[in-house]
Amino acid sequence: MRTSCLRGPRSTAGRSARGPAPRTGLAGRDFLLLLAATAAVFGNSAPLLSVVPLWAEHGGSGHGGAGATTALTMGTTVAAQLAMGRVLRRFPARHALTAGALTMGLPAFAYVVSPALPLTLAVSAVRGIGFGMVTVAGSALVAELVPPAQRGRAVGWYGVAVGLPAVVLLPVAVWCATEFGFVPVFLTTAALGVLAAPLSAAVGHRTAPAHDAATGHDTAGHRTAGHPTEAAPHENGTPGTRPDFRTLATPWLLLFVSVCALGSLMSFLPLALTAPGAAPAALLTISTALIAGRWAAGEWSDRRGSAGRLAAPSALACALGTAGFAATGTLSGAAAFPAGIAAGLVFGLGMGALQNDTLVAMFHRAGPARHGAVSAAWNIGYDGGFGAGALLTGALAQTLALALPTAFLVLATALAAVLLATTTRATTRLTAPTTTRLTTRLTTRIRGPRGGARKNAPGIARKHATGSRSATGDADNTGDADNRGGRERPSRPSHAEGSGGSQDEASRAASHEG
């Protein structure tokens, strides 16, 4: 027995000498693999969002066919996201991410066959399903692979992996398609999608340490105090009860309306800003500032432990930026260039911070058992809002004959109205108990506490069981007068009480004599 006891520490020391176990969290192997897989799969999707419509138009489909490719892709994306909650309850998120990467990468090789619209639409529809799987599974893995104390920064770095391909590869892909043809672009992006599959398959199945509410630390010893605790699953490991989705409505609604503005700007800024170079500079500023906003919001959220507090100011920045683009659209000449960059900076920073803050807040409020459902809901709000904003702007411009800057102003006004409504509702909910307490205290000081007579009367009754009604009334008035100072004082017996007491003694003496 002693030998076996001594062998245990030696074997442990031997394992530690061979190297530490893979770390979890931001510097962990699994999270880094997730970032690499995300960058690869979005290196497939981001360039093709602009190249595929050009390919369809190159085949003679016109503007209608070019728009149909994007619309069908986003439609199948949202349809897949609606089903991902059930999928993630049956299969691990890394398996869904691997399948989604293959569904995006392999069909992209078929684009080179022909630019005919039926084939292009069919391939785009299949790739949209894969994109829906990737977006939901990737967001869910972010919540699973890092502890809650690092989740804000994790979502920020995930946003960097999502946004960098759009900033770098999208303009390069459009340039390559015009200079060298579409085939090299399709082959390269398809290869990136396939490359993401083994990277995502290598992500481990371990989950982040859970929060211990009693000690304020997670099971790995990291301090998590100051961060919202999550709803825990049942003890047997099965998922807990469904979250109250009313608590998720405010961040989801702010995200949806703000992304409507993003979809409108990304679709119509080239048509709204007619000054030379203004639209490309504004779009590049939005994309770059969006990445910076997501990263900065994640750092701030983890350091302050305040997920959800940036949603309102971020949505306000989105509204101001959208209004700024409405004003920029009325400018011409050199003034439009710096105005577009300024509006893009404000909007991009706000949009990036809003994306990070809403996702982290929804994860915290729903709990670890509902990460898949929250990821699906967030991505549906994002992708649905992106398409709805573009559709609404086009309808306003075409049906009501509004100028595009006026349509931008309508969206900015709608976003400000939603922000005002949600902020007012939240402020009322938070300040109502405090207002009630202050009103009660003020009324107590002016009029005396309600029920003061009822509080004092039982004590008098116990002292003077057979006292008269007038004596009790005098005592009540005395109690009210004493309580006007904000504190209770023992009631002083009045003259009536004294006489009442003498009458009681006389009656008891007479009864005794009898």
The residues pairing with 217 across neighbouring beta strands, listed in sequence order, are: 212, 223
Between CA 60 and CA 65, with CA 62 as vertex, the angle to 5 degrees is 100
Confidence at 463, pLDDT banded by 50, 70, 90: very low
Q: Is the pLDDT of residue 137 over 80?
A: yes
Over residues 381-398, mean pLDDT: 84
Whole-model pTM over 0.85: no
Confidence at 300, pLDDT banded by 50, 70, 90: confident
**pLDDT computed for residue 24 by the predictor:** 63
What pLDDT digit, counting tens, does each position of 142-164 carry? 888 888 888 888 888 898 899 88
Confidence at 315, pLDDT banded by 50, 70, 90: very high
**pLDDT computed for residue 437 by the predictor:** 60
Return the closest-CA partner of residue 116 out of 53, 66, 69, 60. Answer: 60
**pLDDT computed for residue 63 by the predictor:** 67
Q: Is the pLDDT of residue 1 over 50?
A: no
Share of the chain above pLDDT 70, in %: 68
- The phi and psi torsions of 217 (rounded to 5 degrees) equal -125, 160
Between CA 79 and CA 90, with CA 85 as vertex, the angle to 5 degrees is 120
Between CA 221 and CA 10, with CA 6 as vertex, the angle to 5 degrees is 60
Q: What kind and span of H or E run contains 212?
A: strand 211-212
Q: What is the dihedral of CA 58, 121, 172, 96, to 10 degrees?
A: -170
Distance of CA 112 to the CA centre of its chain: 39
- Highest average pLDDT, of 12-21, 121-130, 489-498, comes from 121-130
Confidence at 367, pLDDT banded by 50, 70, 90: confident
The residues pairing with 223 across neighbouring beta strands, listed in sequence order, are: 217
**pLDDT computed for residue 360 by the predictor:** 85
**pLDDT computed for residue 43 by the predictor:** 94
CA atoms within 13 A on the CB side of 49: 20
**pLDDT computed for residue 426 by the predictor:** 56
Residues 275, 256: Cα–Cα separation, whole Å: 30
What pLDDT digit, counting tens, does each position of 431-448 carry? 445 545 655 665 566 655
- Highest average pLDDT, of 388-392, 402-406, 433-437, comes from 402-406
Residues 133, 141: Cα–Cα separation, whole Å: 12
**pLDDT computed for residue 65 by the predictor:** 79
Contact 286, 346 (CB under 8 A): no
The structure tokens listed for 401 are: 């004959």
**pLDDT computed for residue 119 by the predictor:** 94
Q: Is the pLDDT of residue 468 over 60?
A: no
Return the closest-CA partner of residue 77 out of 324, 302, 383. Answer: 383
**pLDDT computed for residue 385 by the predictor:** 87
**pLDDT computed for residue 170 by the predictor:** 81
Confidence at 457, pLDDT banded by 50, 70, 90: very low
CA-based radius of gyration for the chain = 33
Q: Is the pLDDT of residue 196 over 90?
A: yes
Q: Is the pLDDT of residue 175 over 60?
A: yes
What pLDDT digit, counting tens, does each position of 64-85 carry? 777 788 778 888 998 998 898 8
**Exposed, middle or buried by CB within 10 Å (0-12, 13-18, 19+), for 239?**
middle
Characterize the bridge pairing of strands 217-218 and 211-212.
antiparallel
What pLDDT digit, counting tens, does each position of 106-129 carry? 999 999 999 999 999 999 999 999
**pLDDT computed for residue 23 by the predictor:** 53
Structure-model confidence comparison of residues 289 and 276, the more confident one? 289
Contact 65, 119 (CB under 8 A): no
Residues 108, 71: Cα–Cα separation, whole Å: 17
Q: Is the pLDDT of residue 166 over 70?
A: yes
Out of 130-139, 283-292, 505-514, least confident range: 505-514
H helices within 305-370, ranges in order?
Answer: 311-328, 336-366
**pLDDT computed for residue 441 by the predictor:** 62
**pLDDT computed for residue 125 by the predictor:** 94
- 107-133: burial string, b at 16+ Cβ within 10 Å, e else: bbbbbbeebebeebbebbbbbbbbbbb
Q: Is the pLDDT of residue 100 over 70?
A: yes
**pLDDT computed for residue 323 by the predictor:** 95
Structure-model confidence comparison of residues 233 and 245, the more confident one? 245
Contact 93, 141 (CB under 8 A): yes
**Exposed, middle or buried by CB within 10 Å (0-12, 13-18, 19+), for 211?**
buried
